[in-house]
Structure 1
Amino acid sequence: MRKLLLALALLPGMAQAEALLIAPVKLLDTSHEARDQTAEHARRQALLAEVLAAEMSATLLPAEAVAEACPQETADCLVTLMRERGADRGLFIVVQKASTLILQVFASLVDLEAGKLITHEELNFRGDNDESWRRAGVFLARQLRD
């Protein structure tokens, strides 16, 4: 597969697409809700990442790869890992859950070669359910593409 992609990139008149890699979505839950929502949160974090990947023609960086290569999850290590996986750009997402009704997304799109921030977007969304997270992903992808 890699050889095919390289061959296509070398064809005359073919523009080489920039590869976008999305880091696992992080969650900061400051809602102090009594019920354990760990499984629901993990599922919604994955949902948000999957929506972004589909909307932005991106690839997801597996959490296992991050845990193995970057156990401390430092920015330098993550950027290096993404670069080694052939990405030109990396997307880093953190969701802060203030309550069941109020969530905020912080998204940083980084040029991995230059190590520079391309753009940073922040958005609020309401409702801690699958549909709200999905819609937030679609909206965020549109913001990042523009």
Structure 2
Amino acid sequence: MSDKRPLRLRLATLVLLAGLNAGVAAAEATAVVTPAAPATLAFIGFEVIDEQPDASRWPALRGRAERIGLQMAEGLQARGLYEVRDLAPAEDALQRTRDANEFLHRCNACLSEIGAAAGARLVGVGWVQRVSNLILNINLGIWDVSDPNADRMVLTKSVDIRGDNDESWRRGVGFMLRDMVERRERQPRYGL
């Protein structure tokens, strides 16, 4: 059976059908691809290492560390970098680990119990090294604790800040979060 329509009309019909089929195929492909859920993270907060210890400074340093700990946890969650888990179920494990280690970011294979108790594959620990009133650095380490016998570091970040005050600490964490988002956009497995 031969098509009696003019050649231009037949070509236009074929182009229209091809476009419709391509649109349906693209919609089906998009529907199948779903974004992966963020990896689960138990973020412990920030420890402080003061190279020039002075007991009168400790309340201010602890307060700053708590504030940037909240800023980091909220930022990691809000930016979709990680699903930050509640630490309440891991309080006993966290206390045992703190009792056995001076600094959690330096312990070797000690974080898996915390991750398991919080229901997280990753555990994050931050630390601020205060060299002087002017020179400090803020650090973040994230370990994959899915193997209870070996914590595997998947991310380490550091930013130098100038000035031992609330604003410089807050800005340092803000920079780290922005940088992590930019790197994750370029490298989807960054920090995982």
TM-score normalized by structure 2? Answer: 0.60
Q: What residue number does 2:145 align with? A: 112
Give the structure with the larger helix fraction: 2
Q: Note the residue ranges of structure 1 that are not aligned, 5 or more in a row.
A: 1-12
Residue 118 of structure 1, CA deviation: 1.0
Conservation of the 8 A alpha-carbon contact between 1:29 and 1:98? yes
Q: Aligned residues: percent identity?
A: 23
Q: Note the residue ranges of structure 2 that are not aligned, 5 or more in a row.
A: 1-33, 78-83, 102-106, 184-192
CA RMSD, 1 decimal: 2.5
- In the TM superposition, what are the counterparts of 1:80-91 in structure 2 within 5 Å? 80-91=113-124
Q: What residue number does 1:46 align with? A: 66
Conservation of the 8 A alpha-carbon contact between 2:85 and 2:119? no
Return the match for 1:128 from 151, 164, 168: 164
SS state of the match for residue 25, structure 1? strand
- In the TM superposition, what are the counterparts of 1:1-146 in structure 2 within 5 Å? 15-32=36-53, 36-57=56-77, 58-59=84-85, 61=87, 65=92, 66-68=94-96, 70-73=98-101, 74-114=107-147, 115-145=151-181, 146=183
Aligned mates of 2:156, 2:145 — CA distance in 1: 14
Report which stretch shifted further, 58-67 or 13-22: 58-67
> CA separation of 1:37/1:60 partners in 2, compared to 1, >3 Å: closer, same or farther?
farther
> CA separation of 1:118/1:105 partners in 2, compared to 1, >3 Å: closer, same or farther?
same
Residue 15 of structure 1, CA deviation: 4.0
Given residue 171 of structure 2, which amino acid in structure 1 is its aligned partner? R
TM-score normalized by structure 1? Answer: 0.76
Higher radius of gyration, 1 or 2: 2
Matched residue pairs, number? 133
Give the structure with the larger strand fraction: 1
> CA separation of 1:60/1:102 partners in 2, compared to 1, >3 Å: closer, same or farther?
farther
